[in-house]
Amino acid sequence: MAVRVHLPGPLRAPFGGASSVVVEGGDVRAALDQLVARAPALAAQLFDGGGALRSYVNVYVNDEDVRSLGGLSAPLKDGDTISLVPSIAGGADDDKLAAAQAAMRRAGKVELPLSHEEVRRYSRHLILPEVGLAGQVKLKQARVLLIGVGGLGSPLALYLAAAGVGTLGLVDADVVDETNLQRQVIHGTKDVGRPKLDSAEARIRDINPNVTVEKHETMLTSANALDLFARYDVVADGTDNFPTRYLVNDACVLTGKPNVYGSIFRFEGQASVFALGDGPCYRCLYPEPPPPGMVPSCAEGGVLGILPGIVGLLQANEVVKLVLGVGTPLAGRLLLFDALAMSFRELKLRKDPNCPVCGPNPTVTELIDYEAFCGFEPAPADARTITARELKARLDRGEEVALLDVREPQEFDLCRLPGSTLVPLGELPSKLSELDSTKELVVHCRTGKRSLQAIELLRQAGFSPARLVNLEGGIDAWARDVDPSMPRY
């Protein structure tokens, strides 16, 4: 059978630009095989490795899709025409925020114009074609929720305020502490002792009085997260612990809000955008939290003060891009930053089809107990404790007490209890034999948390609970109540 094959423009080159060619064939496959025999380059464009038609190529016989005629074995008659038809598709990015804003406009809500003061203030944005007036109005209408106003939250809040994000929600229940000042640059020395929300609000007002600050002076919990997230467009995670990180992730997935994630550890940082559209979430990357105590917090492990500045600004950058709908979001990618090597690496992230929260068959459909999920069991309630003053009195009486310090060597260099032995918590399991299990052991760290973990570990290793005593409030309490000449850190 002689049939005429009509070619789309991109496939005409091998045939000298002809829009159609005549081939012989009893069925569609035979006809296409002959076509490919004359132009082998077409094979890869038309068929996949298994010889099946590629999904973005349609084959029509006369006016019928070959798929509805039984596929490539469909018979041909003399004079039939075959058309190779490229699939032509595309569309704007799937941007929920833009869609929501469009819905607002369709509902007749008038966009707020910018004042003369705002036009001047944002002039360097307004002259960027990617921002412009429309983009700046998007920023002004945006509602961004920051979880934590600490190391990551500080640069986030400072720069998002300066950029003109209209509403910043801040969630934090802490007060400013001197140890925060090394990296939490939104707070100043004069703010020590003040609630972080008040300190941050004052600084934001000074930077940009156009920003509305919504203060949520509370811990983020499973009870309040969904209501809170529902009122914002984008959530930026500046938390420093795993239970809250999983809580933020799950609440973002359940409310459909993008989760702009950042985390820091000593000299290394991570950033990504989770739960954006069909993209992966934090659980796709880390289905299970690490065992408690394995990854120390900043308070336990230390952190380079610059690091949260860098990572927090990566987050701020992603927030602004999401609001504007420009660029390529850091979704489906995990950015790893190493401050010592000064290197950025990028890992490709895939959505986990078995993800318990964002997969097709989720098992987590409401918020759960994240402390329990992360294995944070309440400290042994029956652990014996001693206050710093009691310990001092016993030592002064010359009682035989062994002092076990489970902090890190660099902490030991700053201050120590006289006569104490240093075994960092991480090394404890391998150094059990060096400890005297016959003596009473007063275990201490900086504030009394790591020492409780150490006691639990010692108990499991067979040490008698009766001989293990936790120094309440750690060496910090000692410096406060017993020895004011000792530095507190």
Partner 1 sequence: MSALRIPAALAEAIRAHGRETYPHECCGFLLGAPGEVREIARASNAREDSPQNRYLIPPIEFVRVQRDADARGLDVIGFYHSHPDHPARPSAFDREQAWPGYAYLIAAVEGGLPGELRGFRFDAPDEPFAEIELDPLAEEV
How far apart CA 115 and CA 105 sit, in angstroms, is 20
Which string of DSSP letters, residue by residue, matches 453-483? Answer: HHHHHHHHTT--GGGEEEETTHHHHHHHHT-
Phi, psi values for residue 220, rounded to 5°: -75, 125
Q: Does 105 interact with partner 1 (rule: CB under 8 A)? A: yes
Q: Does 106 interact with partner 1 (rule: CB under 8 A)? A: yes
Q: Does 87 interact with partner 1 (rule: CB under 8 A)? A: yes
In eight-state DSSP terms, residue 69 is G
Q: Does 99 interact with partner 1 (rule: CB under 8 A)? A: yes
Half-sphere exposure of residue 489: CA atoms within 13 angstroms, side-chain side: 18
Which lies closer to partner 1 via its Cβ, residue 153 or residue 332? 332
Interface residue with partner 1 among 40, 91, 418, 484 (CB under 8 A) is: 91
Residue 274's DSSP bridge partners are: 259
Interface residue with partner 1 among 40, 49, 78, 92 (CB under 8 A) is: 92
Interface residue with partner 1 among 85, 339, 422, 435 (CB under 8 A) is: 85
How far apart CA 432 and CA 434 sit, in angstroms, is 5
Q: Minimum CB separation from partner 1 for residue 60, in Å?
A: 5
Q: Minimum CB separation from partner 1 for residue 183, in Å?
A: 35
Number of residues near partner 1 (by CB under 8 A)? 35
Applying CB under 8 A, the span of 53-61, 201-209, 350-358, 404-412 interacting with partner 1 comes to: 53-61
Applying CB under 8 A, the span of 90-98, 187-195, 233-241, 333-341 interacting with partner 1 comes to: 90-98
Question: Cβ distance 75 to 26 under 8 Å?
Answer: yes
Contacts with partner 1, 405-424, as mask; x by CB under 8 A? --------------------
Which lies closer to partner 1 via its Cβ, residue 109 or residue 205? 109
Interface residue with partner 1 among 78, 206, 328, 361 (CB under 8 A) is: 328
Q: Does 286 interact with partner 1 (rule: CB under 8 A)? A: no
Q: Minimum CB separation from partner 1 for residue 6, in Å?
A: 6
Q: Does 55 interact with partner 1 (rule: CB under 8 A)? A: no
Q: Does 8 interact with partner 1 (rule: CB under 8 A)? A: yes
Q: Minimum CB separation from partner 1 for residue 129, in Å?
A: 8
Task: Specify burial of residue 433 (Cβ count, 10 A radius: 0-12, 13-18, 19+).
Answer: exposed
Q: Does 10 interact with partner 1 (rule: CB under 8 A)? A: yes
How far apart CA 289 and CA 217 sit, in angstroms, is 27
Applying CB under 8 A, the span of 78-86, 347-355, 369-377, 438-446 interacting with partner 1 comes to: 78-86
Name the residues annotated as catalytic: 298, 445
Q: Does 93 interact with partner 1 (rule: CB under 8 A)? A: yes
How far apart CA 377 and CA 337 sit, in angstroms, is 32
Q: Provide the pairing of β-strand 468-471 with 441-444.
A: parallel
By CB under 8 A, the residues from 308 to 327 that bind partner 1 are 325-326
Beta strands in 179-280 (DSSP E): 212-216, 234-237, 259-265, 268-274
Interface residue with partner 1 among 21, 31, 101, 475 (CB under 8 A) is: 101
Q: Does 460 interact with partner 1 (rule: CB under 8 A)? A: no
Report the sign of the C-alpha dihedral through residues 133, 135, 139, 141, in that order. Answer: positive
Which lies closer to partner 1 via its Cβ, residue 101 or residue 199? 101
Which lies closer to partner 1 via its Cβ, residue 176 or residue 330? 330
How far apart CA 216 and CA 172 sit, in angstroms, is 7
- Burial state string for 18-43 with b = 16 or more CB within 10 A and e = fewer than 16: eeebebebebbbbbbbbbbeebeebe
Which lies closer to partner 1 via its Cβ, residue 98 or residue 482? 98
How far apart CA 93 and CA 159 sit, in angstroms, is 26
Where does residue 168 fall: left (phi above 0), alpha (psi -120 to 50 degrees), or beta otherwise?
beta
Q: Minimum CB separation from partner 1 for residue 97, in Å?
A: 10
Interface residue with partner 1 among 134, 306, 341, 372 (CB under 8 A) is: 134
Which lies closer to partner 1 via its Cβ, residue 103 or residue 414? 103
User: Can you read off the two tokens belonging to residue 254?
Assistant: 């359940």
Which lies closer to partner 1 via its Cβ, residue 105 or residue 431? 105
Q: Minimum CB separation from partner 1 for residue 469, in Å?
A: 60
Strand order in the sheet with 333-338: 212-216, 167-171, 143-147, 234-237, 259-265, 268-274, 333-338, 343-348
Q: Provide the pairing of β-strand 81-86 with 2-6.
A: parallel
Residues that bind partner 1 (CB under 8 A): 6, 8-10, 19-20, 56, 58, 60, 63, 65, 83, 85-95, 98-99, 101-102, 105-106, 111, 130, 134, 325-326, 328
